[in-house]
Amino acid sequence: MDVLDLARTQFAVTGSLHFLFVVLTLGLAPLVAIMHTRSVLTGKPVHERMTRFWGQIYVINYALGIVTGLVMEFQFGLSWSGLSHYAGDIFGAPLAIETLGAFFLESTFLGLWIFGWHRLPKWLHLACIWLVTLTAYASAFWIMVANSFLQNPAGAVERGDHLALTDFGALVTNPMLAMSLPHVLGAGLWTGGFVVMGASAYQLLRRTAEREFFTRSLRLGVVAAFIGSLVTVGFGYAQFGPVGIFQPDKFNDATLAGAGLGVMITIGQTLQLLIMFVLLPTVYWLPRWRWAHPILLLMTPLPFLAAICGWLAREVGRQPWLINGKLTVADAMSPGLTTGMVTLSLFGFAGVLGLLALVDYLLIAQTVRRGPGAAALGAGDGPAGSTERAHALSF
């Protein structure tokens, strides 16, 4: 494998691992906000406990996902300085807005939400988690603006040896963005729904004492997965229109892209039909059917696999271009890289991100196994937290 293929492999591996964190974050944020809203409106302890338990899983995934995102940013300067030189003024702008605006706001509001339990007024505390959700979606918007520019460099013209932005409006209304953003957000909700559904099925299979808690959670997961699947599949097919215009050969010559597309469509259609015609109509009885719980548990990883295949199809399908029709991958690569340097960084990045993914899984699995009684988030002098302080302190 030459240095170019190694650099591409490095970015594909680290990008795929990072996206696993992102898609779950985008899916869990609105679900936790909905749980918190129900808690504030009804005052029922079960809804507060659901918010704290699933919110803790969200925080674990978010915290570890930050580090993986830093690795992605680092790679642009390490391996792809040609991209920065040629289109950094344009490509870097949405990334900077995402980091300085949406990401910092998201982190700030998340911090207020984490430490605001029983300290902030309940409506202000609720507003914090909804602002976390909105800023997470804003982050996704700016990231997809940058990615869509690579797919179709709208609003830019060549000036000498670099691209210059001439129309910011065209950049943020890119036809390659309009359908892909809802597709990604839907995939996140789908994934979050499956995680909630699968974890709840695991606890119900164990004959947990928290039957009401996980019955409500499983039903919410099924409904969320249904809505997410409709958005994902619908906007997934809608993308074929702009792809046919701007990248008509996207899936003809790229074997990996075509395979990724096929796997994504197969999983997506199968799960979407399963949710629509089997899970949703039986959502009331599903928590009682112990025979179905192992199936739901085994289905949990499938949206993650579909998401990775979709990402590969979107990126590999425009090869050999990094910026479609403007800059090839070979020209975008940093000069002076050697096979040994890229191999070393590949194993280093993949090792770190793989370890973070493993730690993320183990922490989430431990949280699910221990159940809501051990949730540390929000444990304190509240109607639900005071009775569970001893369990939370042992987390």
The per-residue pLDDT for range 317-348, each reduced to its tens digit, is 888 999 999 999 999 999 988 899 999 989 99
2-6, 122-126, 380-384: the lowest-pLDDT one: 380-384
Contact between 118 and 385 under an 8 Å Cβ cutoff? The reply is yes
Q: Strands 162-165, 321-323: parallel, antiparallel or unpaired by DSSP? A: unpaired
User: What is the percent of the chain with per-residue pLDDT over 70, rounded to a whole number?
Assistant: 94
Better pLDDT: 264 or 81? 81
Q: How many CB atoms are located within 10 Å of the residue 106 CB?
A: 23
Nearest 10 degrees: CA dihedral of 246, 248, 250, 254? -150
Predicted local confidence at residue 254, as pLDDT:
52
- The pair phi, psi for residue 165, each rounded to 5°, is -80, 125
Cβ partners under 8 Å of residue 299, min gap 6: 194, 197, 198, 271
Between 342 and 73, the more confident residue is 342
**If you count them, how many residues does the chain have?**
395
Asked whether the beta carbons of 25 and 59 are under 8 A apart, the reply is no
pLDDT higher than threshold 60 for residue 394: no
To the nearest whole number, what is the mean pLDDT of the chain? 89
Rounded to whole angstroms, the Cα distance separating 202 from 204 reads: 6
Given the structure tokens 């997809």, which residue do they identify? 144
pLDDT of residue 258: 63
